[in-house]
Amino acid sequence: MALKIIIIGKVHNVGYRLFLLEEADSMFIPNFDAKNVKQNGKEVLIVLIDGEKEQIQEFLEIVKSKKPEGAVIESIKEEEYGGRIREIKSFRESLNTAQLNKIVQTGLTMIEKQDIMIEKQDETKKEIRHGFNTISSKIDRTNELLDRRFANMEREIEKIKKALAKAGIEIS
């Protein structure tokens, strides 16, 4: 018995095909295929399955009662299917290759973004160094100014002490 199951909703990029493959595998279903497609702007998962009638019915019940965590189902339709369906082993190999390709593409994108982040980090470090140097320079100038003022104040205090001493007033 062959069946075509059409699942509509949030069904792409949620691990749905892998989820269904695992279920079909655990039931020893010999022929299985699943494709993500877009129809009228909606995400659709088309599942083709062939095996014994009891296996197909059990699988269909799982499709209707379980789903991957991120999936949101709008509708599930089923219809008899008369075409060929590849062996589950062939689908598994194809899905593994497709998933590895996604991983590689994601990794390459992450590396590109990491390079951009490192460049921005380097720019930020330069700006921080420049800001630190500017602040440090201002602190140095302020310290020089304060040193001169304190030196002037000490000289003025010494003059005042001498004048007071001349006037007969002792300060300790």
Name the pTM for this structure: 0.65
Residue 99 has pLDDT above 80, yes or no: yes
pLDDT in tens, 31-55: 999 999 999 999 999 999 999 999 9
Q: How confident is the model at residue 171 (pLDDT cuts 50, 70, 90)?
A: confident
CA distance 1 to 3: 7
Residue 170 has pLDDT above 90, yes or no: no
Residue 172 has pLDDT above 90, yes or no: no
Go through the domains of the chain in sequence order and give each one's CATH number.
2-86 (3.30.70.100)
Q: Quick check: helix, strand or coil at residue 169?
A: coil
Mean of the pLDDT values across residues 1-29? 96
